[in-house]
């Protein structure tokens, strides 16, 4: 039917994968450590005369992979920016695990467990894969100088823990062979995977991904799907996935919200939304 793009197969072998060594970063010691319940109410954002988002209500439940789709310019990136605290001129009420987070800074939001990737990759291109991931993690898990000089043992333990987390992630994302490569020299699809690694380095409770499949090969898409499905199904990672095409999310999301011109025009199962007249109209009118 209308502009639904490539179909990507989802294999079941993700359920077979297991990590060697302990501790496992995807298994929190207490369930509440990974708890993620997001509620966005009545979100409106205007850019001059353009209403980029119009009275959006959206929720993401703990352990869910919810997809947000819509044609170019629908407001998907703006919605992620609003949740992540970038577009602060918005009107809204946003809560996370029952706490009002509407006015928290991006830094604070990252600290309480809201992580994301960007539509146009934001990595340090002249640094290695490992350095990018270390920087991503250290940006939010810094010990202060006083601690560093007074409690060297604690700091060392913390360093060991950081290393363990990064090594597990490198193992999980199958990027062992490129860990020392300069990011700018990698194929685009690999850079997307490294960006996912940087977002995961923070061990976010809620992971928001802005078009992780855009511009990558079919094989890379299948790998990306496999990682996301495993993160969600095997490790209970809560994910908001922004994607242009409905077909990409059909097999991996149980719930899909559709934006068009800043309005949420439909929400429900993939089958429900793909047969929704307004959704069909929005996509038929999309020439991209
Ligand atoms: N910083 C900005 N200033 C002005 N207009 C913007 C800005 N960011 C986005 N927009 C506009 O908001 C609308 C939604 O954009 P965006 O969220 O990027 O859409 P999507 O991610 O769904 O393609 C578009 O009309 C876009 O031109
Ligand atoms: Mg976008």
User: Which domains does the chain show, CATH number per domain?
Assistant: 1-7+36-113+204-288 (3.40.50.300), 126-203 (no CATH)
Q: What is the pLDDT of residues 226-253, one digit of tens each?
A: 999 999 998 899 999 999 988 889 889 9
Could you write out the three-class secondary structure of the chain? CCCCCCCCCCCCHHHHCCCCCCCCCCCCCCHHHHCCCEEEEEEEEEECCEEEEEEEEEEECCCCEEEEECCCCCCHHHHHHHHCCCCCCCEEEEEECCEECCCCCHHHHHHCCEEECCCCCCCCCCCEHHHHHHHHHHCCCCCCHHHHHHCHHHHHHHHHHHHHHHHHHHHHCCCHHHCCCEHHHCCHHHHHHHHHHHHHHCCCCEEEEECCCCCCCHHHHHHHHHHHHHHHHHCCCEEEEEECCHHHHHCCCCEEEEEECCEEEEEECHHHHHCCHHHHHHHHCCCC
207 pLDDT higher than 50: yes
Structural Rg of the chain based on CA atoms: 19
Q: How far is CA 48 from CA 51, 89, 223, 263, in A?
A: 8, 11, 40, 17
**pLDDT in the model for residue 27:** 66
Ligand 1 pocket test, pick from 44, 45, 50, 56 with the greatest ligand atom count within 8 Å of Cβ, gives: 50
**pLDDT in the model for residue 156:** 74
Please state which of the ranges 112-116, 157-161, 218-222, 283-287 shows the lowest mean pLDDT: 283-287
- Say which ligand is closest to the CA of 286: 1
Q: Which atom of ligand 1 is nearest to the CA of 210?
A: 21
Q: What percent of the chain has pLDDT over 90?
A: 65
Residue closest via CA to ligand 1's atom 14 equals 75
Q: Which atom of ligand 1 is nearest to the CA of 87?
A: 1
Q: Which of 13, 15, 3 is nearest to 232 (CA)?
A: 15
- Say which ligand is closest to the CA of 78: 1
Contact indicator for 207, 231 with CB cutoff of 8 Å: yes
- Say which ligand is closest to the CA of 118: 2
Q: Which of 161, 148, 80, 74 is nearest to 116 (CA)?
A: 80
- Give the whole-angstrom CA distance, residue 34 versus residue 176: 26
- Average pLDDT across the chain, whole number: 86
pTM of structure: 0.88
CA atoms lying within 13 Å on the CB side of residue 7: 4
Ligand 1 pocket by Cβ (under 6 Å):
47, 50, 52, 70, 72-78
Residue closest via CA to ligand 1's atom 3 equals 47
Q: What is the pLDDT of residues 81-136, one digit of tens each?
A: 999 998 877 899 999 999 999 999 998 999 899 999 988 788 999 999 999 999 99
Cis peptide before 23 (omega within 30 of 0): yes
- Give the whole-angstrom CA distance, residue 205 versus residue 34: 5
């Amino acid at each position: 039917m209308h502009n639904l793009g490539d179909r990507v197969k989802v294999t079941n072998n993700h359920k077979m994968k297991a990590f060697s060594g302990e501790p496992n970063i995807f298994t929190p010691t207490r369930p509440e450590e990974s708890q993620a319940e997001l509620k966005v109410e009545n979100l409106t954002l205007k850019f001059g005369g353009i209403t980029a988002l119009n009275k959006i209500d959206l929720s993401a439940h703990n352990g869910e992979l919810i997809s947000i789709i819509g044609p170019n310019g629908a407001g998907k990136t703006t919605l992620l920016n609003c949740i992540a605290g970038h577009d602060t001129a918005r009107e809204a009420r946003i809560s996370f695990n029952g706490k009002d987070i509407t006015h928290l800074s991006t830094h604070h939001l990252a600290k309480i467990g809201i992580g994301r990737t960007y539509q146009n990759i934001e990595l340090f291109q002249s640094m290695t894969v490992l350095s990018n991931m270390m920087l991503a993690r250290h940006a939010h898990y810094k010990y202060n100088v006083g601690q560093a000089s007074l409690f060297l043992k604690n700091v060392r333990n913390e360093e060991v823990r950081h290393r363990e987390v990064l090594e597990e992630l490198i193992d999980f994302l199958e990027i062992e062979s490129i860990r020392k490569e300069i990011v700018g020299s990698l194929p685009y699809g690999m850079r997307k995977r490294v960006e996912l690694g940087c977002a995961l380095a923070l061990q976010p409770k809620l992971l928001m991904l802005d078009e992780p499949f855009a511009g990558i090969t079919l094989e890379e898409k299948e790998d990306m799907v496999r990682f996301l499905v495993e993160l969600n199904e095997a490790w209970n990672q809560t994910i908001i996935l922004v994607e242009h095409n409905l077909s990409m999310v059909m097999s991996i999301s149980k719930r899909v919200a559709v934006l068009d011109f800043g309005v949420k025009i439909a929400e429900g199962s993939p089958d429900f939304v793909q047969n929704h007249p307004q959704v069909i109209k929005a996509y038929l009118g999309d020439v991209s």
